[in-house]
Amino acid sequence: MTAALAPLEKTPLETWVPPAKPSLVGLSRAELAEHLGRIGVAPPQRKMRVQQLWHWIYVRGAQGFDEMTSISKELRGELDKHFTVARPEVVAEQVSSDGTRKWLLRLPGGDDLQKAHEVECVYIPETDRGTLCVSSQVGCTLNCSFCHTGTQRLVRNLTAGEIVGQIMVARDRLNDWVDRETPNGSRLVTNVVMMGMGEPLYNFDAVRDALLIVADGDGIGISRRRITLSTSGVVPNIIRTGAEIGVMLAISLHAVRDELRNELVPLNRKYPIEQLLQACRDYPGASNARRITFEYVMLKGVNDSLDDAKLLVKLLKGIPAKINLIPFNPWPGTAYECSDWDQIEKFSEYIFNAGYSSPVRTPRGRDILAACGQLKSETEKLSARERQALRAMAMTD
């Protein structure tokens, strides 16, 4: 099957099975109150108890109910009988020479018959921020031909708790909770990008619920302006993202002609460039202060000509935009090569002179394969399915 005829979407192989003792991580306040009601907490007490749990889970990062000293010992014991505050388990951690960290995280299975799957997330520190790249699926719904994750099966969607849990794991490993000392005295995880494994807008409800928790000012407290969701172009859910989540938007564009984008991003056959860009023009809250990022991977002799640059500028006219140029990182079996650096600079210069910010994304974490589209573990004992690739590295500009 050629890339141009690749199926638009994959069907999940599994659905999530809840464990016998569910984690409270990822539940809304209303859901927390409902769970408290099930174990006999009286209605007048639930609001206060929810506030206490919210604080301990999302401000203090408590990993067990015994840490929650403002809650009565009796209630802590009852909570421990029925629930956990578990997040994904760290299977492996790799630290790059440039400070980038990659974690392989195991998601617990819901029963003895369900395999525990793994995802990866990446932390990229910089002088003025720390960006965490988070996954939304085990595998990916889509089949983008240049992307290593596109070659993987779609196993299942992540839950809201598994998405929030990745951020909590990062804070655990970095000692980044509010009541703990970080090396520089300030928060280390300041930005979140939904650019890891999977297509977030094919898991909309869980992604929305997770990001609303992440942005909650009484909890994890990462501003919506510091959260970016990247999509390959699931047009019906783009407007919903602006209206229901209100985070920054990034578009995996990669081509300026439908014929080529049909090959690189087969979803384009369902939602072509014209429809995609109209959804961007209509995106709630888009402005010069809240620009939409267009991701453009540089593929030698494929999409990197000056004619492509000129058409890109023409297509984005009227959209408050920034263009992120991404040097392609080859992976085993790919037919694509990275554009020559001189060509990338010429492409970038043309876009910049047309009035657009056009940073070239600096490759990070190369020594731990923490790069665009090919993030996978070097742990040989893991199977290929467990060494899934993340779709894109976190934006660092």
d(CA 254, CA 377): 26
Tell me which of 118, 120, 199, 295 is the catalytic residue: 120
d(CA 52, CA 25): 14
Element (H, E) at 73: helix 73-82
Residues paired with residue 298 on neighbouring β-strands, in sequence order: 327
Sign of torsion over alpha carbons 70, 72, 78, 81: positive
- 395, 291 Cβ separation under 8 angstroms: no
User: Closest by alpha carbon to 27, among 47, 57, 52?
Assistant: 57
Q: What is the DSSP string of 242-279?
A: IIII--EEEEE---SSHHHHHHHSGGGGTS-HHHHHHH
156 φ, ψ (degrees, to nearest 5): -170, 165
- 135, 157 Cβ separation under 8 angstroms: no
Q: What is the DSSP string of 190-234?
A: -EEEE-SSS-GGGSHHHHHHHHHHHT-TTTT---GGGEEEEES--
Give the contacts of 152 (CB within 8 A, at least 6 positions apart): 139, 140, 385, 388, 389
The verdict on whether 372 is a catalytic residue reads yes
- 361, 324 Cβ separation under 8 angstroms: yes
Sign of torsion over alpha carbons 196, 201, 202, 205: positive
Tell me which of 263, 280, 372, 386 is the catalytic residue: 372
Give the up-direction half-sphere exposure of residue 227: CA atoms within 13 A in the CB hemisphere: 24
Residues annotated as catalytic are 120, 372
